[in-house]
Structures are given as structure tokens and as C-alpha cells.
Amino acid sequence: MTRNIKIFDTTLRDGEQSPGCSMNLKEKLEVAEQLEKMKVDVIEAGFAIASPGDFNSVREIARLVKNSTVASLARALPQDIDRAYEAVKYAKHPRIHTFIATSDIHMKYKLKATEEEVLAQAAKMVAYAKKFCGDVEFSAEDASRSRPEFLYRVFEAVIKAGANVINVPDTVGYTTPEEYFRLIQGIRENVPNIDKAEISVHCHNDLGMAVANTLSAVAAGASQVEVTINGIGERAGNAALEEVAMALKTRRDVYGIGLNLDTTQIYHASRLVSKVTGMKVQHNKAIVGDNAFAHESGIHQHGMLANKETYEIMTPESIGLTQNKLVLGKHSGRHAFEDRLRHLGYHLEKEKLDQVFKEFKELADKKKVIYDKDLEALVADKKLEIKEIYQLKEFVINCGNVITSTANIKLKREEIELEEVAKGFGPVDAAFKAIEAIVGDSFVLEDYALQAVTEGEDALGEATVKIKKNDEVYNGRGLSTDVVEASIKAYVNAINKMFSEAAMLEE
């Protein structure tokens, strides 16, 4: 009989803790919606007590999601558990995920507590959480560096207290596949009441073994894997959902594992997370990288033409990737446009569809042909739209290798048009300084990137920026066939996000 593995996605919690990967509420809701569409079993929506913003996002995701379980992380402390439950209680399937460290180094230097104190606290707080919520997961932080005999005692105690899931994290990415297999096997053999709980695993990628360790744990009997889209997360990241899922699916002959996951939604989820976080997917990334299904060498191409299975172990369609062919132009009608969006997996409400179609027509006047990736960029731009506090009206740039670059920028706020001129070390720098003069504030530019969405001289340019203010980082994104315009839009977008988040927190 096929054994099923549950997918616990922590993109919105652990993934967002990756430096520069913060998301606003609207973006988190979009990601949560996509995760549910992908049929992940559990969505860890955030760390409710971390900030008012985190609490608000967990609560709104709990209200939005109908099928997946929604979890909030909480330290093994009453105030954390109270706050977590206040956020997830709106979910149809709520979960409290509480944790405490169990390794010698963490207990000595971080907790300053003995084994017996940690054991008692873990059991007490699981019992406390169980009063609020029937679904309680317990994590032994830094489990892979904990003394196994102590782990067995902790897991036995928390299961007795009501935990129905016990998590065995490789918190610092230290373990190896062989060690991790033995650890999971040891837990199954030495925790007397382990049959009353699921075993979950959460692996970090510091030594590049997160996916290998996760798969090793599955082979040893783990029944839940904690992963993130594109493998984002603290330091070197987490085990990547797409890699774990497709390894289990492609090598079902080895693992004998079934999944509830709809893998055809993987590509859309990957691109969405990349856009909202501003963290690009490397071209040679397994499963979702641009080169994952590309074959350039002559011998590979010859084999592929003869039989795709010579060099292709899974199909692009299995992750939701369609052929990037020329599909539409300026004479294409609305019916063809809507049909192509449906084929790409997008189902938009009429208002959004009208907006995207209008922008498609404007883009088609500038480009000879429209690619699938152009359409995906337009849709993502509209789906992730926030309130435009500042709107770009006009810009004029003067630059060259013998003059100082200047930018004349005109923005609109409510019904008032604001205009400033600034000099800079280049056209983009000058434009950013003019925008700051209009806003009346300055920001630290943490990151700036520019890339073509598709090939060709008339390619749609996508600019992404990360600006920092008061230790908070805001991502901005802009699209245009003009790279300077795309850059200006991205900077304005990041500023609008900053003001929008501030307004939401005041409400």
C-alpha cells in the first residue's frame, strides 16, 4: 500500500525570514492562495507574536484558506501560544506549532536551562496549547545536534501531553543523510508512544544537503516534510518544496510515496514567490530554473529528438511549464487572450482581466510578438498591485558620457502633481534622487536588478529594487520596454508598499 507524505510549507514563515525576502499582506495572501491551489497539506502562515504585521497576516490567511491546515509558530511560552491561537482560530483547520531547543549548546547558552527544566516546559506548553487547539505540533529545535536519549524522553512527554505531530529539525543544516536516517529510525524505535504522532522533518541547507536529508528521513519513516518554495529561508535556505516533491514523484519506484500535491502548480508558485520577494531563481536551479528543461549540446538535442526520455526524466508539463512559444500580437482579440491565460493557469476576475488586457494591447503596440512570459509578468504585476499612493505621470531623462545625468520626474499623489529635478551618477540614480525629493525622504538602496522577461531587442524589462528604512526592507517591481521607466516604477512601487504597510498597521 502506498504511503502518503504531507507537505508542510513554511515559505511564509521560515522563507520570509531570509534577508530581503519580506512580503506585505497582499503578497502573503497571494502566496497562500497559490499554496492552497497547489494542495499543500499545511501552510505555516507566520510567527504571530513576532510583530503586529505578522499577527495580522496569520489571521487573514487563516480566514482566507479553506482546505489546507493553517499553522502559526510559537515559542513554548504561554504568551506566544495565546497569540498564535488568536490568529489561527479563524482557520477551518487551525494548528499551533510550538518549539523549544533541546541541544546541549542551545540549552546551556540560549535557554540557560537544564534538561529536566526543558522537558517539563515542553510538556507543559503542549498541554496548554492543546486546550485551545486539537492540532498541536511540537518541534525540538536543533534536534540533529541533541542527545538522542534526551530527544526520546522529550518526544514521549509531549506526545503524552497532546502533540499529534513531532518535528525533528536540522536547524543549522549540520547533519548528513546517513545520520538523519539513523536519528529518525531511533525515534521510531525508542519513543514508546510514537504511533500516536506523525514524524515531521525540517532541514536547512547550510551544507547543501537539505533535500537529501529530507528524503533520507522519508525513507526512515517520516510522514511530513517541512519545505519552502524555491528553497528560500534563513542563511542558505530550506529544503526546496519543488525538489522534494518531484524527487518523490519521479522516483516513486524507490520511495513508494504518494502526495496530495498538485505538482502542475509548482512553476506558478515558484515564479510568484520569486516576484514578491525579489529573489531570483538561478538559471540552473533544479526543477524550476530556466535551464531545467533546456538542452543545448548537440548529442543531447539529437537524443531528445529521437526520444525525450533519453535526457528528460520528467516533463515540463508535470510542473506546469508550457512551451514558451510566440502566441499573441497586437491583432489578437480578447477571446484568444483569455484562452491563453487559462492555458497558463490564470483565472482572473473581470476587473483584473480588463486591466491586464488593456496593458496587453499597450504592450503589443510596442512589441512585435508577445511571449507567455510577457503575459505572466503582466498578470503578476496586476495581481500583486497595491494602493498607488504615488503614481508616475511623466519623466524626462538627460544623460550621456560627456554630461551629468539629470532626471525630471512628475508624480501624482491624490489629485496633486508633484515635480522635481535631480542630478545623479547615471539616469537611474538621478531618477531615484528626484523621487526621494518628491516624497521628502531618503532610503538605502539595498539591491537593484534589471533583467529581460523574454528574448529580443524589444523585450519587456523587469526591474526589482529593495529599499531600506528604519531597518525594514521593502521590495519594488516595475515592468516596461524602457528599462529606465521600469526602474522608476519599481522604486515608486517599493515606496508605495512602505506607506501602505504603515497605513495598515495604524488601522
pTM, to two decimals: 0.85
Q: In the prediction, which pLDDT does 17 show?
A: 78
Chain mean pLDDT for the chain: 91
**CATH code 3.30.160.270 for 390-506:** yes
Which comes out higher in pLDDT, residue 293 or 439?
439
Nearest to 69 by CA among 99, 109, 28, 39: 39
Nearest to 277 by CA among 73, 12, 55, 7: 12
Q: In the prediction, which pLDDT does 301 show?
A: 41
Residues pairing with 328 in the sheet = 370
Which comes out higher in pLDDT, residue 341 or 202?
202
Nearest to 266 by CA among 9, 2, 3: 9
Q: Is pLDDT of 109 > 90?
A: yes
**CATH code 3.20.20.70 for 3-277:** yes
Residues pairing with 410 in the sheet = 394, 419
Model confidence at 300, pLDDT cuts 50, 70, 90, reads very low
The mean per-residue pLDDT over the stretch 452-458 comes to: 79
Q: DSSP letters along 382-440, please?
A: HHT----SEEEEEEEEE--SSS-EEEEEEEEETTEEEEEEEEESSHHHHHHHHHHHHHT
Residue tagged 507567455 (cell numbers): 372
- Taking CB atoms within 8 Å and a gap of at least 24, the contacts of 438-447 are 438/390, 438/409, 438/411, 439/390, 439/495, 441/469, 443/467, 443/468, 443/469, 443/494, 443/495, 444/468, 444/469, 446/20, 446/473, 447/20, 447/278
The mean per-residue pLDDT over the stretch 189-197 comes to: 98
In the numeric block, which cell numbers belong to residue 488?
A: 522608476
Q: Is pLDDT of 368 > 90?
A: no
In the numeric block, which cell numbers belong to residue 153?
A: 524522553
- Cα 160 to Cα 153: distance, rounded to the nearest angstrom: 11
User: What's the DSSP call for residue 16?
Assistant: G
With contact defined as beta carbons under 8 Å apart, do 224 and 198 qualify? yes
The mean per-residue pLDDT over the stretch 124-138 comes to: 98
Nearest to 438 by CA among 475, 416, 410, 465: 410
Q: DSSP letters along 249-298, please?
A: HHTHHHH-EEE---GGGHHHHHHHHHHHH--PPPTT-TTTSTTTT---SH
- Cα 242 to Cα 253: distance, rounded to the nearest angstrom: 18
Q: Is pLDDT of 209 > 90?
A: yes
The mean per-residue pLDDT over the stretch 61-68 comes to: 98
Instruction: Give the strand order in the sheet containing 472-480.
Output: 444-452, 461-469, 472-480
